[in-house]
Amino acid sequence: MQNEKQIIITIAREYGSGGHLIADMLGEKYGLPVYDSTIIEIIAQEKGLDLSKLKHFDEKPRNRLFTRSIDGYSNSPEDVIAYMEFDFLREKAKSGESFIVVGRCGSSILKGYKGVMSFFITADMPEKIQRVATEFHVSNEDAEMMIQKNNKSRKLYHNFYCKEKWGDSRYYELTINTSKIGFDRAAEVIDCYIKERMGDDWAEHIAR
């Protein structure tokens, strides 16, 4: 169709903020695939690799103590997996497919492709603690430790592979605090923003 519109929604998120849930809401609303840890599953299946080993290094920062580069090539499994994921996303973007990507430096590596819109989801610590503690059946103290550990890992991962800094509002089109408006309303805000950018009837002409 000549009037098809490609849209790529990138969602970076703090741990416990509900960013992934919002991505799933938008994916269901628009009928778009949501690429997250499923990228590794697809890659493992296509290349015949051990999924359990790949998952251990997915969206993780490089371990500098056990990494070295030879002739410009890294022996870091984190690097190998990161670049496989980046290549996967770029190929999807080049193909004209519309999709949603959670994390994985989407806002940076897909910058410049037509129809890319980037969002960052945050939340206040008390709400993040409550959500993580409830979801994983842990104490508030353990939940806070999980949040700090995962956010540190995401920040190190993103800042290593990208020029743009993780969580810096200058590099996202919208930053939304789910503690203030909730998950449903956050998804609605993103939907309204997309309509402003693409037109009210854009979903009828979405490229799939």
- Number of C-beta neighbours around residue 8 at 10 A: 23
List strand residue ranges (DSSP E) for 76-192, in order: 99-102, 116-122, 174-177
**CATH numeric code, 8-205:** 3.40.50.300
Helix axes 178-198, 125-136, angle to 10 degrees: 100
What's this model's pTM, rounded to 2 decimal places? 0.89
Whether residue 109 has pLDDT greater than 60: yes
Under 8 Å between Cβ of 172 and 116: no
What integer pLDDT is reported at residue 74 of this predicted model?
52
| pLDDT over 80 at 200, yes or no | no
The per-residue pLDDT for 57 is 81
CA nearest neighbour of 206 among 21, 42, 27, 38: 27
Q: Where are the domains of the chain?
A: 8-205
- When pLDDT is averaged across residues 4-12 and rounded to a whole number, the result is 91
Which residues share a beta bridge with 9? Answer: 100, 117
Distance, in Å, from the CA atom of 186 to the CA atom of 190, rounded to the nearest integer, reads: 6
What is the predicted pLDDT for the residue at 17? 98
pLDDT digits (tens, 9 = 90+) for 27-43: 999 999 999 999 999 99
45 secondary structure, DSSP code? H
Per-residue CA distances from 91 to 83, 85, 87, 168, 190 (Å)? 12, 10, 6, 27, 25
